[in-house]
Structure 1
Amino acid sequence: MIGELTPAALHAALSGLSQRQRVTADNIANINTPGFLAGRVEFESALGGALRSGETPQINGGTTARSLEPTNTNGNNVNLDAETLIATETGLRYQLALSALDGKYNSIRTALRTQ
């Protein structure tokens, strides 16, 4: 039971979401920095691919790439509305994954207590 993919997948998701939170915070901190290009974190496709093939997902936080969205006059492409939405969605997904992982560990603890 402990070797299931679920805890590994949830840990990988938490790692990717945590990386996304850091990159989003960096984007917002650099909203007025000339030439700064917003970062974007992608981990979902690698996580989904590993799960579809039955492999244990890697816990690496995903990949970060610079956004190719249009820039304003100072070469910066950070959009506060978009970053706020990403931060909110990421926070909610993080809470959901954390709750799922907590539930998984609670079920293991309960099973161990009843033995």
Structure 2
Amino acid sequence: MNVHNLSLLHRALDASDLRQEMVSNNIANVNTPGYKAKRVEFESLLTEAMNGTGLSRTNDRHFGANSINEVTARVEEQEGNMVGDDGNNVAIDTEMAELSANNLYYQSLISQTSAQYSMLRSVLR
């Protein structure tokens, strides 16, 4: 078992939790004039770090990740997708699909985390 795997799984679970919060906020603000939907970026940042194409951090105050172990979720405003004339861009169908997809993603992360801990328990016996 790799400690880095558990660390990565925990950060992915944190990202999924944050995504759930953002989707819930988006749904709650579906009728709020001027509200812009929020999206959580994690998987794309992880892919960039794995490929070595992400931003490098040259100072502790800079954004970016030098390695997979430093990738964390980031909240961004969704651009475009204007649904109403009031400037709100929340599409309830999109949000419900995001909610469902995030639920499946979270459950798979829980299963993987459980399997990692099961392996650790079997080694310690």
Normalization by structure 1: what TM-score? 0.86
* Structure 2, gaps ≥5 residues long: 53-65
CA contact (8 A) 1:16 1:41 kept: yes
Question: Alpha-carbon deviations, 1:37-63, whole Å to 9, x = none?
Answer: 100110112223444569452364x11
Q: Which moved more, 1:29-38 or 1:65-74?
A: 65-74
In 2, Cα distance between the equivalents of 1:78 and 1:23? 12
Indicate the residue corresponding to 2:76 in structure 1: 65
Could you list the runs of 4 or more consecutive aligned residues of structure 1 that deviate by over 4 angstroms after TM superposition?
Answer: 51-54
Indicate the residue corresponding to 2:8 in structure 1: 9
Specify which of 82, 89, 106 is matched with residue 94 of structure 2.
Answer: 82
Aligned positions of 1:1-115 closer than 5 A: 1=1, 3=3, 5-52=4-51, 55-58=67-70, 60=72, 62-71=73-82, 72-113=84-125
CA contact (8 A) 2:45 2:71 kept: no
Question: Alpha-carbon deviations, 1:5-42, whole Å to 9, x = none?
Answer: 21111111111111111100000000000000100110
Q: What letter matches 1:110 in structure 2?
A: S
In 2, Cα distance between the equivalents of 1:104 and 1:43? 21
CA contact (8 A) 1:12 1:58 kept: no
Normalization by structure 2: what TM-score? 0.79
Q: Which moved more, 1:12-21 or 1:50-59?
A: 50-59
State the percentage of identical aligned residues.
34
CA contact (8 A) 1:33 1:76 kept: yes
In 2, Cα distance between the equivalents of 1:7 and 1:51? 16
Question: Alpha-carbon deviations, 1:87-115, whole Å to 9, x = none?
Answer: 100011011001100110011001101xx
Residue aligned with 2:20, SS: helix
Q: Aligned pairs, how many?
A: 111
CA contact (8 A) 1:13 1:47 kept: no
In 1, Cα distance between the equivalents of 2:101 and 2:6? 21
CA contact (8 A) 1:28 1:83 kept: yes
